[in-house]
C-alpha cells in the first residue's frame, strides 16, 4: 500500500505540474497525510461477454461508472474488460498490458 501511495503521489505532482498549480504537492500531501481519507481498493472488473458465457455469468465486477476520486490507478488483470465511452455513445476496449498501470482522471479533479 505504501508503494502505491508513493506512486500515486508522484503522479499527482505531475498532474499539478501540467496544470501549473502551486504548491506542487497540493494534492499529494492530502493523500500522504496520516489522517488522509484516501483509500486502497481492489476491484475486479467483469470479463467480456464471450468469456462470461463460458463461465455461466458467474463473475462479480463493476458495470458502467465514473471514478469519483482525484485519480484511479488501475493494473490490468490480462483481460479486455476496461472500456471507455466515446462521445457518440459507443464503447471501446482498452488493450490490457500486465506491465503497465492505467491512470484515470476522476470526477474530483
Per-residue model confidence (pLDDT) at position 28: 84
Flag whether the pTM goes above 0.75.
Answer: no
Q: Alpha-carbon Rg of the chain, whole angstroms? A: 16
Q: Give, rounded to a whole angstrom, the gap between the first and last alpha carbons of the chain.
A: 22
Residue 85 DSSP class: E
- The grid coordinates listed for 39 are 483509500
Report pLDDT digits (tens) over 4-57.
888 888 999 999 999 999 999 888 887 777 777 777 776 665 555 555 555 555
β-pair type (71-75, 101-105)? antiparallel
Per-residue model confidence (pLDDT) at position 43: 66
Report pLDDT digits (tens) over 42-87.
666 555 555 555 555 555 556 677 888 888 888 777 666 677 788 9
Amino acid at each position: 500500500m505504501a508503494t502505491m501511495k508513493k506512486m500515486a503521489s508522484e503522479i499527482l505532482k505531475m498532474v499539478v505540474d501540467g496544470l501549473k498549480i502551486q504548491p506542487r504537492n497540493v494534492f499529494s500531501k492530502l493523500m500522504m497525510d496520516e489522517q488522509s481519507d484516501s483509500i486502497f481498493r481492489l476491484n475486479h472488473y467483469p470479463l467480456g461477454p464471450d468469456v462470461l458465457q463460458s463461465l455461466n455469468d458467474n463473475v462479480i465486477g463493476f458495470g458502467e461508472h465514473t471514478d469519483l476520486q482525484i485519480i484511479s490507478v488501475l493494473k490490468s488483470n490480462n483481460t479486455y474488460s476496461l472500456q471507455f465511452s466515446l462521445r457518440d455513445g459507443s464503447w471501446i476496449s482498452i488493450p490490457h498490458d500486465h506491465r503497465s498501470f492505467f491512470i484515470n482522471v476522476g470526477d474530483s479533479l
